[in-house]
Every structure is written in C-alpha cells, then in structure tokens.
C-alpha cells in the first residue's frame, strides 16, 4: 500500500458490523463480559474500539508494532518517560519543543532522572555524553523553531551500540514524509494536535513502538496512568489523518513559494528551512525525508520589527501551535519558547527578531502578498 492509500485504508478502515465507512464512535466506558474474564473490551481506559482504530492506523503509518493514543502530545511524552527510573540518564536534543524542555527540567528531575541537552546533530557530542546510566536519546528532526536536522540512522546506530532506546518526536515532518522506525528508531511520538489532526480543533498525542515488549510496557503505563484520548477525539483524529497526504503536498508547494519570496526580501536576514541547499544538514534531511514540511523561521532586524510584522499580517493568524489548514505566525521568544530563560534562548539561536511561520492551505498568492505588505 502506498502512503495516500494507507492513510485511508490503513488500520481498521471499514466497520465490521454494518460496513460504515467512518469508524463508529463507541462512546462507552465499560463493556459487557461474556463470562468472568471473557471479553474483547473491558473498560475504556484499558481499551476502546474507536481509540483502537486510531492506534492501529498510526502503528501502520509509522511502520511500528503498536500504537497508543493520549489526551495530548505532552501526555504521550510523559508516558514514554515513565519507562525510565530514578538514576537513569537521558540525552535530549537541545532545541526541543518548549513544553518538552519544561517537562524534562521541572518534572523528570524531581524523579531523579537526569537529562543532558545536547546538539543531537553533532554525533561526537552525542557519543561523548553517553554514560553508564544513559538509557535513551530523545530527539526531534526538524526542530522547533530553528529547523535543525539530526541524522536518525546515525543516532540509531549509536543507540544500538550503547543499548539505548532512540525516541523520535516526529510531529514536524509526520509519517507522510518521514519514517523514524524504518531508520532504526524504537519509539515515535506525535503531538497529533498539529499536522495529523490538521484543523486546529483537537489536542491529542500518539506513541508508536517498534517491538512487542515496548508495546506491553507502554500499554501498561497507558492503563496505569490513564491519560487516554476520548472516543470522539479519536474519531476526529482518524478523520484528520485521512487527508494528511493532500494537505502535506499542498503545504509543501505553498511553503516552497513562500521561501523563494523570503530569500529575496531585503528585510529578511536569516532563513531556517531544511529545503534550502544552504541549510547545514540539507543532505541528511533529503536522505531521511520525502518533504520539507510547512515550518519556516526567519529573522528580521529586531523585536520591534518582528512585532510590526506580526501586527500587520491579515491571513497569517497570530497563534501558538502549527500544522493546521490556517497559516499561523508566531514570535518564539515571546510565545512557544517563553518558558525557556532568555539567556538560554539566545545561546540556542532563538533571537528576539525570530519569526516562525506554519504555512497552511490558503492561496499562496494571498499569503505572499500578506507577507509583502507586512514586511514593507
């Protein structure tokens, strides 16, 4: 099955009972047992058929063994972190999602799990920071908001040699373009709130694992901690995923044109986009991904100029989040990354004049005209 077909016919595509083309929403918390201990579903925290339809679909799309749906991306990340114990050490990509950084520094550390933030695109740095207690590498590629690229296969090699789990947050590039498990990752995480849902109407998280034992472990954690996705939201997410292919293709084409416009604009200083041949890891991205995605960051002179752009745009909506049908614009330093101290932000390259775009599905001519008048 090719990708666009799998988005529609992967997982549980047609309801077994009446042939409904859309999977039924089993709005049920408990299920009759045929006899004590004789049941398919028992209690909806443990398993619900609508959630399972989604979990099977994402496992197919990410080429893993099992999938799991959570009430948010952060709930999914927290569940994966529950695999680890006091005394363990984890290596994490340095410009990870702000919420992930907050979780790692304010919650995991209280559980006595030590985290080191490193530039995961620097393989020597990664190797140098592995210790006896290191259990996993947690990475994003492309990252947020600087679109840094890490070689998944190379990190998978290092992980294997050192008996670590490789965890990849695949939110930005989606399984439509990038398959971390095929490149050796053990666990894939999504904030399905973004491209997979795709319509700014849902908060959800997903996990896919590459082996049965990890599947048992994550299912135990999912059931024991209970941050599950509700049946209605599971259904809504399946509905979103069906159109992921056409959305990603159109977003790709729009983004390509917007980047071509930004490259020539005199007010634009730096541009961060893996599709530019000048991007330091352009070749690695091309090797491991079929598309560049709809995220672009660029800098203007200073915060004032950036604020002016944000205030003047009409079709780009000023909002957090990304990956939806609407084009969004944000100022990472003041919004998504405000929870990272300024000193650390500057160190990472998240300047005050850095603007982040999430390109959507509006007519690209309108989007370009909008940026043109806002930058003028």
The residues carrying an active-site annotation are: 45, 97, 169, 194
Examine residue 72 and tell whether it contacts ligand PLP (CB under 6 A). yes
Smallest distance, ligand PLP to C-beta of residue 143, A: 8
Residues 6 or more apart whose Cβ sits within 8 Å of residue 64: 181, 188, 208, 209, 210
What is the rounded distance in angstroms from the CA atom of residue 103 to the CA atom of residue 154?
26
Choose the binding region for ligand PLP from 66-74, 127-135, 261-269, 343-351 (rule: CB under 6 A). 66-74
CB of 204 to ligand PLP, least distance (A): 6
Select from 100, 222, 299, 330 the one that contacts ligand PLP (CB under 6 A): 100
Residue 322: closest CA among 232, 236, 193, 139? 193
The answer to whether 97 touches 128, Cβ cutoff 8 Å, is no
Q: Does 99 bind ligand PLP (CB under 6 A)?
A: yes
Q: How far is the CB of 144 from ligand PLP (least distance, A)?
A: 5
Per DSSP, the residues of 261-328 read HHHH-TT---EE-TTSTTSTTHHHHHHH-S---SEEEEE-SSHHHHHHHHHH-SSSEE-S---SSS-E
- Which residue's CB is nearer to ligand PLP, number 179 or number 193? 193
Is the separation of the CB atoms in 129 and 150 below 8 Å? Answer: no
* Beta strand 205-209 pairing with 187-191: antiparallel
Site string for ligand PLP, 132-151 (x = CB under 6 A): --------x---x-------
Q: How far is the CB of 49 from ligand PLP (least distance, A)?
A: 23
**Count, residues near ligand PLP per rule CB under 6 A:** 16
Check residue 98 for interaction with ligand PLP (CB under 6 A): no
C-beta nearest to ligand PLP: residue: 73
Stretch that binds ligand PLP, among 28-36, 96-104, 128-136, 337-345 (CB under 6 A): 96-104
Residue 349, number of CB atoms within 10 A of its CB: 16
CB of 24 to ligand PLP, least distance (A): 25
Distances (CA, A) of 97 to 13, 172, 210, 372: 33, 11, 23, 29
Q: Which is nearer to ligand PLP, 72 or 120 (CB)?
A: 72
Shortest separation between residue 48's beta carbon and ligand PLP, angstroms:
19
- DSSP states of 11-43 as a string? SS-S-TTT--SS------SB---SBTTB-S--B
The smaller minimum CB distance to ligand PLP, of residues 12 and 177, is found at: 177
* 171 in contact with ligand PLP (CB under 6 A): yes
SS3 91: strand
Please state, in angstroms and rounded to a whole number, the distance separating the CA atoms of residues 361 and 317. Answer: 13
Q: Please select the residue that binds ligand PLP; options are 11, 23, 64, 73, rule is CB under 6 A.
A: 73
Residue of the chain from 62, 88, 169, 351 that contacts ligand PLP (CB under 6 A): 169
- Sketch the per residue contact string, 180 through 219, with ligand PLP: x for CB under 6 A, - otherwise: -----------x-xx--------x-x--------------
Helical H runs in the chain? 3-9, 49-61, 73-81, 98-103, 123-128, 152-161, 174-177, 212-225, 231-242, 244-264, 282-288, 303-312, 342-348, 364-375
179 or 370: whose CB is closer to ligand PLP? Answer: 179
Region binding ligand PLP by CB under 6 A among candidate stretches 19-27, 72-80, 219-227, 239-247 = 72-80
CB 282, CB 276: distance < 8 Å:
yes
Stretch that binds ligand PLP, among 18-26, 70-78, 284-292, 300-308 (CB under 6 A): 70-78
* Sheet containing 354-358: order of strands: 271-272, 295-299, 354-358, 328-330, 317-318
Smaller CB separation from ligand PLP, 99 or 349: 99
Q: Contact residues for ligand PLP (CB under 6 A)?
A: 72-74, 97, 99-100, 140, 144, 169, 171-172, 191, 193-194, 203, 205
């Amino acid at each position: 099955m090719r990708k666009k077909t799998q988005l529609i016919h992967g997982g549980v595509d047609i309801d077994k009972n009446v042939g409904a083309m859309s999977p039924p929403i089993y709005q049920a918390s408990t299920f009759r047992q045929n006899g004590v201990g004789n049941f398919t579903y028992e209690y909806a925290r443990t398993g619900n058929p609508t959630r399972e339809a989604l979990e099977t679909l994402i496992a197919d799309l990410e080429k893993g063994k099992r999938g799991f749906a959570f009430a948010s991306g952060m709930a999914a990340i927290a569940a994966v972190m529950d695999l680890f114990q006091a005394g363990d050490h984890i290596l994490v990509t340095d410009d990870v999602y702000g919420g992930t950084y907050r979780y790692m520094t304010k919650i995991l550390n209280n559980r006595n799990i030590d985290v080191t933030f490193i530039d995961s695109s620097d393989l020597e740095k990664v190797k140098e920071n592995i210790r006896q207690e290191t259990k996993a590498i947690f990475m994003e590629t492309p990252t947020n908001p600087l679109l840094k690229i890490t070689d998944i296969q190379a990190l998978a090699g290092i992980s294997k040699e050192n008996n670590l789990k490789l965890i990849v947050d695949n939110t930005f590039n989606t399984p439509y373009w990038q398959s971390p498990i095929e490149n050796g990752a053990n666990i894939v995480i999504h904030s399905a709130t973004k491209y997979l849902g795709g319509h700014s109407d849902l908060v959800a998280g997903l996990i896919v694992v590459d082996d049965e034992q990890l599947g048992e472990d994550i299912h135990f954690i999912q059931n024991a901690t209970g941050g599950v996705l509700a049946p209605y939201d599971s259904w809504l997410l399946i509905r979103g995923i069906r159109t992921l292919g056409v959305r990603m293709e159109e977003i790709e084409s729009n983004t390509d044109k917007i980047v071509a416009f930004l490259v020539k604009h005199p007010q634009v200083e730096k541009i961060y986009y893996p599709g530019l041949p000048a991007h330091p890891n352009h070749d690695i991205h091309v090797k491991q991904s079929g598309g560049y995605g709809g995220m672009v960051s660029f800098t203007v002179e200073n915060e004032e100029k950036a604020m002016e752009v944000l205030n003047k745009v009409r079709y780009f909506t000023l909002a957090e989040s990304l990956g939806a049908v609407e084009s969004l614009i944000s100022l990472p330093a003041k919004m998504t990354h405000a929870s990272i101290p300024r000193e650390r932000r500057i160190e990472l390259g998240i300047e005050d004049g850095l603007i982040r775009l999430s390109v959507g599905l509006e007519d690209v001519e309108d989007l370009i005209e909008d940026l043109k008048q806002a930058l003028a």
